[in-house]
Amino acid sequence: MRKLVVANWKMNPASVKEALDLFDKVKKKASTLKNVDTILAPPFAFLGELTCNYSGSKVSFASQDVFWEEGGSYTGEVSVSQIKSIGATYGIVGHSERRALGETDVDVNKKVLALIKEKVTPILCIGESSRDEHGEYLNFLQKEITEGLKSVSKNDIKRVVIAYEPIWAIGKSVRDAMKPDEMHEMKIFIQKTLSELYERSVVSKVPIIYGGSVEPDNARALLEGGEVDGFLVGHASLSVTEFNEILTIVNRA
């Protein structure tokens, strides 16, 4: 399976000029890579500007969120056909920072289905806020997966990316990120949960990526020991040096 690296810029940078500058440097790097798909998720405000300035085929674009309705009186929301019309081919849904603002599993599921309907690939984020010794967090994750994927057919699941992002590891440093062996266990758990919903042959085609303080210093170990299919990168994606180094590591792995 080809590896994916998704840059979640969140609500950064502050201006379109800075966004274009960052994009330009990442674009150059991405064009040299053979084994990795680079996906940029800039804020909505810059998405159209970046896709317009892009000629070539080595970077794809994702929205950081999307609304499930096709159009109408939904002030502030953005539809799947709108992001698709400006060149996004992926949509992040269920990011923990959206869930913290009130998004439910039912909302996330509606977004997943809306993306699938338009043939835009959902990047479904799941992740527990903390862990407990009784393993209750595993039930929580199972629910996020099962409800997020409700009514997704066995044909369509192949076009979904699962991003496992433990909230306790987000926005910290390498020291606080998940360890490779723990990530490997989580990959097995996610695949087991998926195989309760879909045939095994289909489950093996679903990319499972990791997010939570991925930096150049832990990327290789997480890829090799965690056996992940790529990364969702937050803060390190705003540093050209760090992000491009992560891309190099994933490309070589």
Cβ closest to ligand PEP, residue 82 vs residue 213: 213
Cβ closest to ligand PEP, residue 46 vs residue 231: 231
Structure-token pair, residue 77: 């929301």
211 near ligand PEP (CB under 6 A): yes
Closest CA to 161 of 239, 246, 60, 69: 60
CA distance 200 to 164: 19
Q: Are 149 and 160 in contact (CB under 8 A)?
A: yes
Cβ closest to ligand PEP, residue 42 vs residue 234: 234
**DSSP assignment letter at 76:** T
Comparing every residue's Cβ against ligand PEP, the nearest one is: 234
**DSSP assignment letter at 140:** H
In the complex, minimum distance from the CB of residue 153 to ligand PEP, in angstroms, rounded to a whole number: 27
Q: How many residues bind ligand PEP (CB under 6 A)?
A: 13
216 near ligand PEP (CB under 6 A): no
250 near ligand PEP (CB under 6 A): no
For the window 162-191, what string marks contact with ligand PEP as x by the rule CB under 6 A? ---x----xx--------------------
Concatenate the DSSP letters of all residues of 151-185 into one string.
T--TTGGGG-EEEE--GGGTTS-GGGSPPHHHHHH
Burial of 196 (0-12, 13-18, 19+ CB in 10 A): exposed
Q: Which of 212, 216, 226, 230 binds ligand PEP (CB under 6 A)?
A: 212
**Interacting residues with ligand PEP between 219 and 238 (CB under 6 A):** 232-236
Cβ closest to ligand PEP, residue 92 vs residue 203: 92
**Catalytic member of 165, 215, 235, 242:** 165
Q: Are 132 and 168 in contact (CB under 8 A)?
A: no
In the complex, minimum distance from the CB of residue 53 to ligand PEP, in angstroms, rounded to a whole number: 24
Cβ closest to ligand PEP, residue 80 vs residue 214: 214
**Interacting residues with ligand PEP between 93 and 132 (CB under 6 A):** none
| 165 catalytic residue (yes or no) | yes
71 near ligand PEP (CB under 6 A): no
8 near ligand PEP (CB under 6 A): yes
Q: Which residues contact 209 (CB under 8 A, 6 or more apart)?
A: 4, 6, 123, 161, 162, 163, 164, 228, 229, 230, 231, 232
CA distance 128 to 130: 6
User: CB-hemisphere CA count at 13 Å for 198?
Assistant: 23
Query: Which residues are near ligand PEP by CB under 6 A?
Result: 8, 165, 170-171, 211-214, 232-236
Residues annotated as catalytic (active site), given as ranges: 95, 165
